[in-house]
Structures are given as structure tokens and as C-alpha cells.
Amino acid sequence: MLKAIHNKLDDLYPEMVEIRRFLHQYPELSFQETKTAQYIADFYEELGIPYQQNVGGNGVIATLEGGKPGKVVALRADFDALPIQDEKDVPYKSKIDGVMHACGHDGHTASLLTLAKVMTAFQDDLPGTILFLHQHAEEYAPGGAQPIIESGALDKADAVFGTHLWATTPFGVLQTSKDTFMAGPDRFEITIQGQGGHGGYPHQTKDAITIGSRLVSQLQEIVSRRLDPLSTAVISIGQFEAGSAFNVIADKARLVGTVRYLQLDVQEQIIEEMEKVIQGTCIANDASYTFDYDKGYPPLVNNTQEAELVLEASKQVDDIHTSEEIQPVMAGEDFAYYTQAKPGAYFFTGAKKEGYPHHHPMFDIDERAIPVAAKTLIAAYFAYQAQTQAKG
């Protein structure tokens, strides 16, 4: 049956591309995806598959009950976009100014919708139940996964699988981990309050730019000099805002950045060390400060057994020539909440096209990867059903 499903997915490749390109032209930001959610709901309405809308916010979950006994397995795709201007010169370029599918979520949605369409033809012979889980707001914390879980909509699920079309991994390559797979991504903001003044009289000021510059350097020493060298972490400053004129010393500076980590104890140590460094630097320069630290998603930790199932199931997908375990990546994903709540695994489906990374204005994917994602998800579904039945 799996081979027949894969063949039907290949037959519907043009429809997958059409769905993906339509969604690419009409992206919506996190927590604002009402039209996209309605598009998904209308698709299931036409298929005749029962579905729930407004799950945990803008989430949509469709339920396909098979004709044979088995477990309930959720297959997840996210559908929000990013506040980025699309700079590609393609017919399907975003029509929404300043908003873009720069992470492949349009492809995730096209993959899962088309898989649902195919599976209706196999419903009578399907073991168990598929939950087609369409999640909103992956890109922006607190995200959509946690409220979906809190809604109780996944209480009946026995396992959950998901994939990301990964634009820096070649087509035909599947990547995952049997343990920690993606980092916990946090956000912080530091405001330094000094004392401004004339550029010709720096001795009469407390230069917020100088103090902020020292902080940029000293915060890096937390990772290089205060953490165990075997611990993995990143502290990056993404914004440094200060000053209003060439001859005026700034009285205030604002630094915004991110912390990435793989272990919770490392996260706590970084927060503690950052507070010490910021406080010490500001005291030494007679300045005051505020430090706001927002904890984001936890690290994404795959369940070993389910990750092994994905690796094994991928061997049944003709388009995949390499399935490999990789070291954790420092990007974050709120799929982490699903594997905290249920057995499950997340994996990357190679979709490299031009080589532009995720969240880039020129981002695009190799659309051949869209059916590969669907094929692997359904292969993992059947592998899970077979394994649980074998255990009795």
C-alpha cells in the first residue's frame, strides 16, 4: 500500500506545487494567519474529512479514521510566514509587502494537504487514525504548539511526527537525531542609561555607546571563558541602537540578541552570568541598566525509538539516497513541545535550491522535496503502526 501511496503523491506533484506557490504569494504573519487557516479548512471541507478550526488559536486539525484498528498519530505542518520582503524574481513572489514565506512553511502545508487527499483513497485499509495537524505561529514565541497541546486536541494522539524542508541540505538527504536535535532559542534586551553630552567633552558624559560596545565583547566571554568547553551555547547581539547625531554622545543604548543552548542548566548559567557581566560593566561606568530575558521554546529532543523509525522508514522512499544522524543545529522549533508531551520525532527533508538560508529575502526551496516530505511522513506513520502492533 505504501508504494501505491507514494505513486499517487508523485501523480499529484503539480497540485502540490500549485498549492505551495499560491500560499507563497499570500503569506500571513504569526498569529494573523486567518485566511491561510480558512484555506486549509476549506480544503478538508472539500475532501469530506472532519476537521476542527481555531485549535489553540488559528490551528486546524483534520481527522482521518482508518478502517482497521491502530494507534492515533499526528503529522504536523506549520503555516505562518515572516516579516521579510521577498526579493526573488519569480512568478510566485509574495504579493504582501514586507511579508514572506522565508522558511518553507508553505511547502509544509502543501505536503500535508496533498497527503490527506491521497489518504482518503486508502481509508478503508488504513490502520489507526491520522491527525493532520496544521499549526499556526511557529515563528514567533510563545508559538502555536503549546496552546494546541493545552487545548486537549492532541490528548488522544499516541505519537507525533513532523518535518522541515531544509534549504541548506541537498535534495535526497534526510537528517535527524536520536536525541537533542534543535536548540532552545531565547531573546534578551539590554538598555543602558548613561549621560549624554557634547561630542567635544566626553569627560563630562557617560557614553552609552562605549559601555554597550564593551558589553558586546564581554558577553562573548561567557561562552568562551565561563561555560564548560563541552557545553554548546551561542550569545549573539542582533541589534545595537544608540545615538542621534555625529557630535552628540549618546545617553542611551539598546542591545537586543539571542541565546541558543542545548541543556537547561546551561540556559540558567548563561542568564546568571549575563546579569553579572551587565551589572558589573554598568557599575564600573557609573550607568544604570535594564535586562529583560525572555525564555523561548525548549530544545527539541527527539524520542530515540521514533527517530529510529524515521531513519528506517526513509529507506522506503525512493527519492532519498542518504539518511543520516547529525549533530544538533542551533535553530529553534516549537515542535519541541510535542515531543515533550508525546513520543515523536522531527526530521529535515533536504530542499536546497539556490543555497540561500532560511529567513533570507531570496529564500526558496527545491519543490521536488515537497512530495518527499509527504512520503517520509506517511512511511513513518506505517512504521509506527507496525511496531506498536508487533508489541501487542
105 and 153 in a single domain? The answer is yes
Whether the pLDDT of residue 272 is over 70: the answer is yes
86 and 17 in a single domain? The answer is yes
Whether the pLDDT of residue 392 is over 70: the answer is no
Domain final position from 265, 294, 323: 294
Confidence of residue 51 (pLDDT cuts 50, 70, 90): very high
329 and 254 in a single domain? The answer is no
Q: Label residues 191-214 b or e (16+ Cβ within 10 Å = b).
A: bbebebbeeeeeeebbbbbbbbeb
Contact 145, 160 (CB under 8 A): no
Number of domains in the chain: 2
281 and 144 in a single domain? The answer is no
Confidence of residue 242 (pLDDT cuts 50, 70, 90): very high
Q: Which residues pair with 161 in a beta bridge?
A: 75, 345
Q: Label residues 351-368 b or e (16+ Cβ within 10 Å = b).
A: bbbeebebebeebbbbbb
Containing domain of residue 156, as a range?
A: 2-182+299-391
105 and 237 in a single domain? The answer is no
Catalytic-labelled residue, pool 28, 80, 106, 186: 80
Catalytic-labelled residue, pool 78, 138, 139, 186: 138
Tens digits of per-residue pLDDT, 168-220?
Answer: 999 999 999 999 999 999 999 999 999 999 999 999 999 999 999 999 999 99
Tens digits of per-residue pLDDT, 348-380?
Answer: 999 999 879 999 999 999 999 999 999 999 999
Domain final position from 294, 315, 340: 294
Torsion over CA: 336, 325, 303, 381 (sign):
positive
80 is catalytic: yes
Indicate which CATH number applies to the domain containing 313.
Answer: 3.40.630.10
Contact 199, 248 (CB under 8 A): yes
138 is catalytic: yes
pTM above 0.85, yes or no: yes
153 and 47 in a single domain? The answer is yes
Which burial class, exposed, middle or buried, applies to 218 when counting CB atoms under 10 A from its CB (0-12, 13-18, 19+)? Answer: middle
Domain final position from 294, 312, 342: 294
Indicate which CATH number applies to the domain containing 284.
Answer: 3.30.70.360
209 and 285 in a single domain? The answer is yes
